[in-house]
Amino acid sequence: MLKLKTNRSMLKRVSFTGTGKIKRSRANKGHILTKKSKKRKRALRKAALVSGSDLKRVRRMLPYG
């Protein structure tokens, strides 16, 4: 059987937990931070899991994850 190609851009954006879930960083932390509250920016530091609706697409991009 042929080897499947991993989507390298997706691999750089996510990581895997020990149980096999896919962890991602949160959006809206790049710029225009002055108008965002400290509480909101602090919450954006924490990682999140890829949602169930996107999971199938992400898993297809990362066949060996």
Whole-prediction pTM = 0.83
Two structure tokens written together for 2: 């042929």
Task: Decide if domain 8-61 falls under CATH 1.25.40.10.
Answer: no
pLDDT for residue 2 is more than 90: yes
**Residue 65 — pLDDT band, cuts 50, 70, 90?**
confident
pLDDT tens digits, residue range 10-58? 999 999 999 999 999 999 999 999 999 999 999 999 999 999 999 999 9
Residue ranges covered by each domain of the chain: 8-61
Using only C-alpha atoms, the chain has a radius of gyration, in whole angstroms, of 15
Angle subtended at Cα 57 by Cα 54 and Cα 60, rounded to the nearest 5 degrees: 145
Tell me how far apart the alpha carbons of residues 62 and 44 are, in angstroms, rounded to a whole number: 25
